[in-house]
Amino acid sequence: MDQDTSKANQELKERLDAFLESPAARKASAKLLIENALIQKMAENVVNREYLQSVREIRTMLQALDQAENEDAREEKIKNIKDKLSKLS
Amino acid sequence: MAFFNKQVPAPAEELEQEEGEKGPEGLQLLDDPEFVEFLSYGETPIDIQNERDAERYAQQIEDWHATYNRFKETEEGVTGIVAEGLEEYGIELENDDDLKGEVERYLFELVHDDPSKYFDIASKAEEHAQINEEIASEQAEVEALLKKHGISLDKENMSDHPAENEIGKVFAGYDEKSEEKSKRPSMLRWNVLAGIYNKYRQAPGEEKAFQKEMQEAFSKLQSSIERKTEITGARNEMIGIMKDNKDLKEAITVSLKNSLTVRMGNLDLSDIEGIQKIFEAVNTNKDVFGLGISIDDKRRFEEAMRQSVEGGLTNFIESGSWEGRNDLIEKFQNIFSLNKFASFDAKKFTTRFIDDYCDSLRAQMESAQTKKERAELNRKLILLNSIKQETVTKRKIVTSHKASIAGGPVARRRAA
């Protein structure tokens, strides 16, 4: 990089620095941050609802363990529970 | 602050003096300074020339007061969810007075511009808190039952998810205070496609690999887009980047259906018909904006950037000499040229320059010692990304435009 280019880049960088510190930029970034924060959190509802459903199903499966007819059936149920737990995400 | 520019202090007093009795009940609500401040984020009211105007005005005030009361009931929950979201950028809203003020202003403006959108967000914030509460309760119950039945989890049966490798950590992903927070299940990020695009941007010889990876990512994202749009009502959050016109049309179709922003790279500019279809879609759907087209030619790329920003876009439009180009740009400018992005003079900056600058900010992030430093760097990064990838200013403008049509109770009644 020649000296002129380097100097020009440095000037640009300083201008960008100044812009990013300016009240207009701070205001714009605040709005963006707020919007992003809201969207991200609201979008989580979908995932969280699905996750909640899975945890409920696991709880139901665990509650049904006592009704296992024999040890083999119980082991099978436990295997299914572990399998479902492993897929929680 | 335009709401009460001239009329606010006067109407109630004048009516009392002239009629020797109290003005309409709605006007007395203006004794509450907090309510008056709330109203100040709205629109200019009608001129009050006579008693009928005053009654109409009073009715509007009463309606807004009902909205204000609902707002006050939900404000804390919405602010709370914003604060939670901001934590992911390393920002503690509690300790940032400037941003706290911006959040307040944002919510005030939102409830004035689009009350239904605000109350929709409020209900989702409530739902968010409720679901998390239920998750905590269910998790506690499941852990107790696992313990009761003596069930332990061995690695062979577990996924690779580090948080799930042993009992007690099964739900670490949902513990807000956990260090494993970042590993919790999450929606696919919207920059996935952009990431793939950037990865291959400099590798023209790997087009097939690019297409394959992009198609896989896009098909994964489609259902997420639809769900996210359905849930958040969010517009313009998805950036679809497709390699060729066939995929491009698909991206356009899906994105328009979901009111999302579309961005493309390496468009086949010889397919005028395809491009025209795209712009017809843009023309007939003013909620879609920020459509940018760039090509792999540095000179034209920079020129496209310059013209885009001058036209009010933060994305790029093609600046070649093909037929219809000028019409196209004019159409874009008619739709979008409402504002420029703050005082940022993008003419002087190439995307490469901004990329380098972002890299230096990320490097600083790694060595940042405090949350505050990280938050500041995040703030800059998000803004630069928006300049590069989003149409922030346009989003605001379109919101304002819609507000003038749909508006709050005042605007609606006035329109009627």
Contacts of B223 in chain A (CB under 8 A): none
Identify the closest residue of chain A to B148 by CA–CA distance.
Answer: A62
Tokens matching residue B99: 């941003």
Mean pLDDT of A54-65: 91
What is residue B212's predicted lDDT score, i.e. its pLDDT? Answer: 63
pTM of the predicted model, to two decimals? 0.52
* Cα B347 from Cα B116, distance rounded (Å): 39
- Name the pLDDT band for B123 (thresholds 50, 70, 90): very high
Helix axis angle for B272-284 and B325-336, nearest 10°, is: 20
Q: Cβ A43–B341 below 8 Å, yes or no?
A: no
Residue (of B194, B213, B185, B239) closest to B358 by Cα position: B194
Side-chain-side CA neighbours of residue A56 (13 Å): 9
Position B379 scores a pLDDT of 85
B160 burial level (CB within 10 Å; 0-12, 13-18, 19+): exposed
For B141, nearest residue in chain A (alpha carbons): A59
Query: Of B91, B125, B159, which has the smallest distance from its Cβ to A33's Cβ?
Result: B91
Q: Which of B142, B153, B171, B398 to mutate to test the interface with A (most CBs of A within 10 A)?
A: B142
Instruction: Supply φ then ψ for residue B263, to 5 degrees.
Output: -135, 145
Closest CA to B257 of B291, B280, B231, B288: B288
Q: How far is CA B30 from CA B5, B27, B56, B190, in A?
A: 14, 6, 15, 45
Show the tokens assigned to A41. 């959190």
Closest-CA residue to B225 (of B182, B183, B197, B257): B257
Of A24, A42, A85, nearest to B343 by CB-CB distance is A24
Range name among A6-10, B37-41, B300-304 with the lowest pLDDT average: B300-304
For the CA atoms of B113, B118, B119, B124, what is the dihedral angle to 10 degrees?
Answer: 160
CB A33 within 8 A of CB B382: yes
Q: Is B264 helix (H, G, I), strand (E, B) or coil?
A: strand
Is residue B384 very low, low, confident or very high in pLDDT (cuts 50, 70, 90)?
A: confident
CA A88 vs CA B76, B247, B391: distances in Å: 31, 33, 36
Q: What is the pLDDT of residue A60?
A: 94
The ipTM assigned to this model is 0.83
pLDDT for B324: 42
CA atoms A52, A54, A59, A60: torsion sign: positive
B40's tokens: 């100040």
Which one of A19, A65, A71, A78 would you mutate to disrupt binding with B, by most B Cβ within 10 Å of its Cβ? A19
A31 vs B232: CB contact, 8 Å cut-off? no
In the block, residue with structure tokens 């600083």: B364
Q: What is the percent of chain B where pLDDT is above 70?
A: 36
pLDDT bucket at B208, cuts 50 / 70 / 90: low
pLDDT band at B78 (very low <50, low <70, confident <90, very high): very high
- Domain range summary for chain B, segments of one domain joined by +: 10-120, 152-186, 192-405
- The C-alpha of B180 sits at a distance from chain A's nearest C-alpha, in angstroms, of 13
Query: In Å, how far are A51, B52, B125, B190, B223 from B187, measured between CA atoms?
Result: 12, 53, 17, 9, 11
Closest approach of B17 to chain A, Cα-based (Å): 44
> What is the spatial distance between Cα B213 and Cα B203, in angstroms, rounded to a whole number?
14
**Which chain B residues contact residue A87 at CB under 8 A?**
159
Q: Single out the residue of B140, B238, B232, B224 nearest to residue B188, CA to CA.
A: B224
Residue B325 tokens read as 């180009």
pLDDT tier for residue B214 given thresholds of 50, 70 and 90: low
**What's residue B217's pLDDT?**
57
Going by C-alpha positions, the residue among B350, B249, B248 that lies closest to residue B308 is: B350
